[in-house]
Structure 1
Amino acid sequence: MPVQRDDPYGAFNFLVSLGPGQGGEGSVVGGFSDVSGLGFEVQYAEYRNGNEKVNTVRKIQNSFKVDDVTLKRGLIGSNDLFAWLQSVRQGTIDARTVTITLLDEARKPVSSWKLLSAQPKKWTGPTLAAKGGTETAMEELVLNYRDIEYQ
């Protein structure tokens, strides 16, 4: 699905699907305005044989770890996201495949990232203040997950 071109894609045109439990993997739960934290890090172990002539260590690939992903959206009055959070808080294991899809200017998919076995780690509600009246009520969801796939 990745499409190569000379001009980079804008980071403002994307969809987020929270997977089964919300009407299937292809359903979009809400208009998320920010996605951050996509990434992973490979760990390496240092190793050296005792009989090696060169006095240096080798780096041997070990395990890897994925970063937590943070999603932000304007509060839209839907309780579907909070229902998932509440069921997990009450002890239900409800790991999902979360898909983040980057779109081109014609709103056609060009890349996607699948977060496998994603679960909510932290939810932050909106900051409410009666001073200016121009800010949007935003909620934030932090997800942890087992693995990431790129397509």
Structure 2
Amino acid sequence: MATLREDPYGPFNFKVTISPASGGEFRGGFSDVSGLNTEITHADYREGTDPANRPRKVPLMYKAGDVTLKRGLIASLDLWNWVNQVRRGNMDARATVVIQLLSEDHAATVASWKLINARPSKWTGPTLAAKGGSDVAMEELTLVCEDLEFE
């Protein structure tokens, strides 16, 4: 699904959709998504008859990194309820999370990342300060997932 073009896309047009395994869907007006990555571990291997005096790098397992979502605190308990399911030991509290990068006119998805079997691992509430001003109360949710797909 990734669209080829010469100029890079800006990181500010995106949509996040969380689809719990139990059904339903909620969309977040998130201001930040960070941590989209995958890491492949390698082992050094050298057999006795290798002519080179160095090991080969053999790929082993891979894993997806933790992804952090941030949004302004709103009058919705959807994220907190999901966190609470995991806190109470609900093994079925996993979800598919789709992060779509949109074109400048929001007409098309130009890239998409899918977190498979995602679960909350950390929720951070807002910092509250009586100084006034124009700051927004933010909540932060860190997700772990079993796999990451990119299209």
TM-score where L is the length of structure 2 = 0.93
| Equivalent residue in structure 1 for 2:52, among 44, 51, 54 | 54
Query: Which residue of structure 2 aligns with residue 123 of structure 1?
Result: 123
Q: Deviations over 1:69-119 (max 9, x none)?
A: 000000011011111111111111211110000000121211100000000
Equivalent positions of 1:49-88 (< 5 A) are: 49-88=47-86
Query: Which residue of structure 2 aligns with residue 143 of structure 1?
Result: 143
Q: Deviations over 1:14-63 (max 9, x none)?
A: 00011135724xx42x2100000000111110011112222111111111
| Equivalent residue in structure 1 for 2:89, among 81, 88, 91 | 91
Q: Contact 1:116–1:147 (CA<8 Å) still a contact in 2?
A: yes
Name segments (4+ residues, structure 1) moved above 2 Å. 20-24
Query: Which residue of structure 2 aligns with residue 7 of structure 1?
Result: 7
Structure 2: state its 5+ residue gaps: none
Structure 1: state its 5+ residue gaps: none
Amino acid across the alignment from 1:68: D
Q: Distance in 2 between the 1:22 and 1:84 partners? A: 12
Amino acid across the alignment from 1:4: L
**Alpha-carbon deviation of 1:133?**
2.6
Amino acid across the alignment from 2:24: G
Q: Distance in 2 between the 1:127 and 1:104 partners? A: 33
Q: Percent identity?
A: 53
TM-score where L is the length of structure 1 = 0.93
RMSD over aligned CA atoms reads: 1.2
Query: Which residue of structure 2 aligns with residue 109 of structure 1?
Result: 109
